[in-house]
Amino acid sequence: MSDLLWYPLNDLPFVFLVIMIAFTAHEFAHAYFAYLFGDRTAYDAGRVTLNPRVHLDMMGTILILIAGFGWARPVPVNRGRFKHPRLMGIVVSAVGPLSNLLLSAIGILAVYVLNETGLLDAGSIGVHRAIVHFLHYLITLNIVLFIFNLIPVPPLDGYRIIQDVVPTSLRIRMDQNAHWGIFIFLLIVFIPPLRAATLDPLFMYSNHIISGLIDFFDLFFKQVDWQQFDNDFLR
């Protein structure tokens, strides 16, 4: 059974919980800012909510547990209802990935607070293991989602941002060829050699982002023994 999964079997509850939080926050951010800017499409569809049930896609969630790649239900957005379609379109697209960056920062902050108060090492071994695993996945998976969604390939947010930046003539050509981009993207994701040559090196930047967040929190809190934190996760 474990051979069919991307993550260790014992970690699935933590991975699922983090994915549920990450996908919900991501899609809610899109829906809320679209509504804030005057587009009621997502609001009328019931997407301006933190209820995970309306944001999660069953197949996309299962695939992320099996293949390490998945998706949530996309939020419908009508940019024509924005007062400033391009600028507000960029913001609506960007807040999704930024919500994942924020969740990762919250996870790192939680480690510092628990370390500062002594609660990180309090409790039973089982409680300590659960806390470490949950926070590890909250930090790392959200950083991966932040980077992943900024890739400028359809149907990701990075592609939508580029669409709102380029001239209209180029945007039209991008729309005409978007289906090829989606096809190429799926090949990259599901063919291991292509994934290893493209996405995996990109995800290496996640370590640099996490290190930058740690350096920031080091300015305000007692330093955390992150090597010990990682060792506790690997036990």
CA distances from 144 to 100, 131, 140, 154, 168 (A): 9, 20, 6, 17, 31
The Cα diameter of the chain in Å comes to 62
Catalytic center residues: 27
Given a contact cutoff of 8 angstroms between Cβ atoms, the answer to whether 113 and 224 are in contact is: no
Residue 179 exposure: Cα atoms within 13 Å on the Cβ side: 1
CA dihedral 116, 225, 98, 47 (to 10 degrees): -70
Task: Determine the angle formed by the axes of helices 12-36 and 85-117, rounding to 10 degrees.
Answer: 140
